[in-house]
Amino acid sequence: MNKILKSGLSLMLAGAMCCTLVLGGCGKKDENSSAVSQTEDSSGSKVENNSIIIKGDGIKISAETLGYYVYQAAMTVARTDDPNITDFTTVDWEKKMSDGRVMSDVIKENAINEMLKKAAIVKYGKENDITFTDEEREQIKSGMDQYKTEQGDSMFETTLKAIGVDTIDAYLSLYESETIYSKVKSDFESNRKNYIKDEKKMKEYKDDNKVSVQHILIKNNSTKYEDPKKTIQEVLERAKNGEDFAQLMKEFNEDPGEPDSGYSFGHGEMVAEFEDASFNLEYDEISDIVESSYGYHIIKRVIGFAEFENYIIDKWNVEADEDLVNKISISDIMKDISDANNALMTAQKESENQNSEENNTQDGGKANE
């Protein structure tokens, strides 16, 4: 895993869902609350689960997974606005951020952009034999069946709602999409040249909200280099003098999680010093030394997965239904998710109390023997 990612910002569905399924308590959401992915605006209209919110050449994506992407975007945007936030129930989703934008508008934009990219990349994967296999499908179904058997249907449904989906079909669709996307991205990282064949063309797909970079890290507590600052200065001089950056990465880089192709990331995903320097670079430009809490970095902006995503979106004319997008209520979605999480926590406490009482009874019985 990327060592310079901000703590707690890994948004992969598989990890998030596995943690929820394993650690979540049992409980049932208030029957009077609205479904997670059926949100209302001030006029009372809804984005129904079966509404087609993303479309393109051979692409139709319903709104059934919208809540998940809103949830993930909301967590990232809220942390970007306040890195120290721990209680998301206190967030005013309609507040103005430091840059003057309304938080809910930013969340909505980021969530829809993520859905656009996932839809395009999944189509690319399927057309290039990168798929969600029958074995993978059966494995996740088996895991769900086991969970429902052990904890009950109502707890399973509430657990789904706690990550922004409210049906099994929606979860399976989401899991399939995330799996294929992850496979394509992994293949890109291993075979970048097969994807980026026309660098001049790809530069047209620059994304102001996402950047792709390669970097060399020398840790400030390095055990390999006696003088990290001196070492990074020497590496910078060699890079600025035209030596192959990829070779310098192989020789010096102390970030074990970085693929050869580098990283593609958005605002709020990296530590501030690294992020700011990356977004300020032009293509093929090499930064000066950037210091963060992890050590010393040299960063090179490259054409990466972010640009490839935008290229594929354009290729297949993938777009969102603006009328439906305007109906999305971030506050409603986040309230429903919060309600589900509260139900899980309440049930978890009840379960712990019950177990404690049973243990006390057993201990009391043994004492009387």
Q: What is the mean pLDDT of residues 144-169?
A: 90
The Cα 353–Cα 16 span in angstroms is 26
Q: What are phi and psi of 162, to 5 degrees?
A: -70, -15
Token pair 């294929």 in the structure block, residue: 180
| Residue 9 confidence (pLDDT) above 50 | no
Among 72-81, 231-240, 271-280, 345-354, which stretch is predicted with the lowest mean pLDDT? Answer: 345-354
Q: What is the mean pLDDT of residues 339-349?
A: 87
Instruction: Check residue 151 and give its pLDDT.
Output: 84
| Residue 18 confidence (pLDDT) above 50 | no
| Residue 133 confidence (pLDDT) above 50 | yes
Instruction: Check residue 255 and give its pLDDT.
Output: 94
Q: In terms of Cα–Cα distance, which of 244, 248, 211 is closest to 232? A: 248
| Residue 46 confidence (pLDDT) above 60 | yes
Q: Which long-range contacts (CB under 8 A, 24 or more apart) does 31-36 make?
A: 33/335, 33/336, 33/339, 34/332, 34/336, 35/166, 35/336, 36/67, 36/161, 36/164, 36/165, 36/166, 36/333, 36/336, 36/337, 36/340
Spatial contact of 151 and 21, defined as CB atoms under 8 Å apart = no
Q: What is the mean pLDDT of residues 100-110?
A: 94
Instruction: Check residue 357 and give its pLDDT.
Output: 67
- In this predicted model, which residue has the larger pLDDT, 127 or 352? 127
List the structure tokens of 328: 């999305």
Instruction: Check residue 31 and give its pLDDT.
Output: 33
The β-bridge relationship of strands 46-47 and 295-301 is unpaired
> Which of the four pLDDT bands, split at 50, 70 and 90, describes residue 14?
very low
If phi over 0 gives left and psi between -120 and 50 gives alpha, with beta otherwise, what is residue 129?
left
List the structure tokens of 199: 């660098």
Which segments of the chain are extended strands (E)?
39-40, 46-47, 52-56, 59-62, 210-219, 263-266, 290-292, 295-301, 319-320
Report percent pLDDT > 90 for the chain. 64
> 160-206, pLDDT tens digit by residue?
999 999 899 999 999 999 999 999 999 998 898 899 989 899 999 99
The Cα 46–Cα 338 span in angstroms is 20
Torsion of CA 215, 219, 224, 230, to 10 degrees: 80
Task: Tell me the residue type at 267.
Answer: H
Q: What is the mean pLDDT of residues 285-304?
A: 96
| Residue 73 confidence (pLDDT) above 70 | yes
| Residue 6 confidence (pLDDT) above 70 | no
- In this predicted model, which residue has the larger pLDDT, 26 or 125? 125
- Widest CA span in the chain: 83
Whole-number mean pLDDT of the chain? 84
Instruction: Check residue 84 and give its pLDDT.
Output: 87
> 232-286, pLDDT tens digit by residue?
999 999 999 999 999 999 999 999 889 888 999 988 889 999 999 999 999 999 9
> Which of the four pLDDT bands, split at 50, 70 and 90, describes residue 318?
very high
Residue ranges covered by each domain of the chain: 13-194+318-354, 199-303
Residue range 199-303, CATH number: 3.10.50.40
Torsion of CA 130, 180, 166, 209, to 10 degrees: -140
The Cα 340–Cα 336 span in angstroms is 6
Helix (H, G, I), strand (E, B) or coil at 205: helix
Q: In terms of Cα–Cα distance, which of 282, 325, 109, 284 is closest to 209? A: 109
Instruction: Check residue 87 and give its pLDDT.
Output: 85
Q: Which strand ranges, in their side-by-side order, compose the sheet holding 319-320?
A: 59-62, 52-56, 319-320
**DSSP type of residue 43:** T
Q: What is the mean pLDDT of residues 313-338?
A: 94
| Residue 29 confidence (pLDDT) above 50 | no
Instruction: Check residue 364 and give its pLDDT.
Output: 60
Q: What is the mean pLDDT of residues 329-343?
A: 92
The Cα 8–Cα 273 span in angstroms is 18
| Residue 41 confidence (pLDDT) above 50 | no
Instruction: Check residue 2 and give its pLDDT.
Output: 43
Q: In terms of Cα–Cα distance, which of 269, 312, 67 is closest to 174? A: 67
Q: What is the mean pLDDT of residues 40-57?
A: 74
Model confidence, pTM: 0.79
Report percent pLDDT > 70 for the chain. 84
List the structure tokens of 325: 């997008």
Instruction: Check residue 347 and give its pLDDT.
Output: 82
- In this predicted model, which residue has the larger pLDDT, 54 or 208? 54
Vertex 61 angle, CA 58 and 65, to 5°: 160
